[in-house]
Chains A and B, each alone.
Chain A
């Protein structure tokens, strides 16, 4: 399991700033789907009991209904687990040095990618749709100069605030990065031998 207090390759001066998860509206949508899925067998049973009552009295039909119902319940649970894990296992961790994106793509596909903050070129927030506009959640797109050219965080609560926070952390990290590079340059100027060796 992932421990948020001990990130992989964590540097001494690296602090966890924000943990971004999808908005709570997403599990609410999953819960509504869950209720609808589990209501279907009861509705079907009521319908058959009302219009085709003799069917339910036959032991053969009872056996068939039992097997179908059991399969349906297991299938519905599996579907909900998959859907919930798609939501739950998507996490974006923002530290003062980097962004770690952990995303579940499918059952056998899980991606963990990392991005240094000083590589970020642009951060944009996009809030689109009825519920996102009311509740303020949306997409945060981070464009980079690194290997992965774009990071997209979906359904982020307070998308604009999150984007602003990432921008301010990026500015701070870039400043530190430039200072570090300048220092290396000065050391090389003072010790030309070191430069030659490199």
Chain B
């Protein structure tokens, strides 16, 4: 049996992961905003984390431009006998 899967299917687990990441990040940052001391240090953590996250997404996006996502990877179980 031959199974051909396009590369872009990888975006499904990635999307789920990003959603979970967004959920946890949001509540962590909310906790920091609500209970952190009102000073520069708190703001640096808050904006620094958001900036780093955006940076990771931008780098991922730029690197993803070079990959042919519509190509397929073929799995051939072959004949065992």
The main secondary structure of chain A at its interface with chain B is helix
**A78 pairs with B21, CB closer than 8 A:** yes
**A70 pairs with B7, CB closer than 8 A:** no
Binds B, one of A9-17, A100-108, A119-127, A156-164: A100-108
The main secondary structure of chain B at its interface with chain A is helix
**A1 pairs with B34, CB closer than 8 A:** yes
Interchain CB contact (< 8 A) of A81 among B28, B36, B69: B28
**Chain A, range 88-131, C-beta contacts under 8 Å to B:** 88-89, 91, 102, 104, 107-108, 110
A-B contact count (CB 8 A): 92
**A4 pairs with B37, CB closer than 8 A:** yes
**A74 pairs with B31, CB closer than 8 A:** no
**Chain B, range 20-54, C-beta contacts under 8 Å to A:** 21, 24-25, 27-29, 31-38, 41-42, 45, 49, 52-53
**B68 pairs with A59, CB closer than 8 A:** yes
Identify the B interface with A (CB < 8 A): 7, 10-11, 13-14, 17-18, 21, 24-25, 27-29, 31-38, 41-42, 45, 49, 52-53, 56-57, 59-60, 63-64, 66-69, 71, 73
Question: Which 4 residue pairs are nearest across A and B when measured between Cβ atoms?
Answer: A1-B38, A70-B60, A63-B7, A60-B73
Q: A1-B42, A3-B37, A82-B24 are known contacts; what are 14 more A-B pairs with Cβ within 8 Å?
A: A1-B33, A4-B38, A59-B7, A66-B64, A67-B13, A69-B60, A71-B14, A74-B53, A74-B56, A77-B53, A81-B25, A84-B45, A88-B41, A88-B42
